[in-house]
Amino acid sequence: MGPGDVERGGGADGITYTCQICGKTCTGYPRSRYCVQCRTTVRRETQRKSKARVAEKQREDGVMKQRGTGERPSAPSLGQIAVRARAQHMSYGEYVAKYGI
């Protein structure tokens, strides 16, 4: 490594900081907050909460779909609109202008 290269991993050349959780003094990057043990704990807790949020959202979506209030019905296709327009003896443009679809 040359004199301008930066070594990854927060070795002896890193800055000294204090863990925000346990107060342990460590060496690392300028934006480091936690020691190795606390970082692992925080990461696992964050992942657990994230998975719980996703699971809750999926449960809510499942309940909403079962009740029939989930997704909105899809808009009619261009072909379906054209068929409706012809049934009323109108062109596609006239039908869309009148009914605002």
pLDDT tens for the chain, residues 1 to 101: 444 444 444 455 689 999 999 999 999 898 999 999 999 999 999 999 999 999 888 887 776 565 555 566 678 888 899 999 999 999 999 998 998 87
In the chain, the amino acid numbered 20 is Q
Residues 6+ apart with CB under 8 A from 1: 7
DSSP helix/strand/coil, 15: strand
What is the enclosing helix (H) or strand (E) of 28? strand 25-28
DSSP state of 87: H
Map out the domains of the chain as residue ranges.
9-70, 72-101
Residue 6: per-residue pLDDT: 42
Contact 33, 20 (CB under 8 A): yes
Residue 39: per-residue pLDDT: 94
Contact 34, 19 (CB under 8 A): yes
